[in-house]
Amino acid sequence: MKKDRIVKRKLKDLVFDQELYPRGGVDSGYVAELRERIENGALLPPPVIDVGGGAIIDGIHRFRAWLRAFGPDHEIDCVARRYGTKAERIADAARLNLLHGKRLSAIDRARVRQRLQALGMPLKQIARLFQMNVATLSAVAEGRTAQVARPASEGGGTEEIVLKYGTSHLRGQTLTPDQAEANAKLSGLSQLQYARDLLRLAELDMLDLDNERLVHLLRRLHEVLGTVLGAVGVT
């Protein structure tokens, strides 16, 4: 990597590449917090971007907060960094996220390990990145992977993905692309926790039934659960 430089970029010219992002998802609550701080005068550090294409290496939450506060034409300072390979971009994104903010979960580390190994990076080098022993890193998310079928247009076959807590019961199975996408978007809680939270809100009359989108989703959930449970003889 060559020496960093500060450049100005409009928010609309920056790219959120999910393949580079080491976390399972963006924390909307944290984005809202950052937006409020920005609107009240906070000066946040510039994001790190790949000078080659504008991909955000570090600073996704800040990017989303600026976008909500000022819109896509707003211009910000960015730390522009040049990378030689995709593996370098993924590794630097993980390294920078280890230095600040919320800790990377076991699933996050397993996902990054998997991506870097697929790109040819030795496990020992990945362990140094995470400042972990090789044995410890190897055990991360052990037994919590599945295969996803690739479409024929991408050469067919399967590839391994890391399952989140809510889908860990699917380990060893082959998922459809839609199932793999759903796994990637889950927050990471167990299915039991999702069910408990929704049941608690309903039993204590805490559901926001004035929210039309929520009511629509609850109706849909009621229909789908009836079909799914009925299919296995649960009434």
Maximum alpha-carbon separation in the chain: 64
Question: Is 147 a domain residue?
Answer: no
Question: Is 32 a domain residue?
Answer: yes
Alpha helix stretches (DSSP H) within 40-85? 60-70
pLDDT of residue 156: 74
Q: Domain tally for the chain?
A: 2
Question: Is 221 a domain residue?
Answer: yes
User: Which of 101, 125, 158 marks a domain boundary?
Assistant: 101
**What is the total residue count of the chain?**
235
Q: Which two tokens stand for residue 128?
A: 């140094």
The helix/strand/coil state of 93 is helix
pLDDT of residue 191: 94
For 22-57, the pLDDT digits (tens) are 987 888 999 999 999 999 999 999 999 999 899 999
pLDDT of residue 139: 82
Question: Is 111 a domain residue?
Answer: no
Question: Is 215 a domain residue?
Answer: yes
Question: Is 41 a domain residue?
Answer: yes
User: Which of 48, 75, 101 marks a domain boundary?
Assistant: 101
Which residues, in sequence order, are CB contacts of 11 under 8 Å at separation 6+?
63, 66, 67, 70, 71, 72, 73, 74, 75, 76
pTM score: 0.73
Beta bridge partners, 124, equal none
Which residues, in sequence order, are CB contacts of 87 under 8 Å at separation 6+?
116, 119, 120, 121
Could you tell me the residue range of the domain that residue 18 belongs to?
A: 5-101
Beta-carbon count within 10 A of 176 CB:
10
Question: Is 158 a domain residue?
Answer: no
The CATH number of whichever domain residue 70 belongs to comes to 3.90.1530
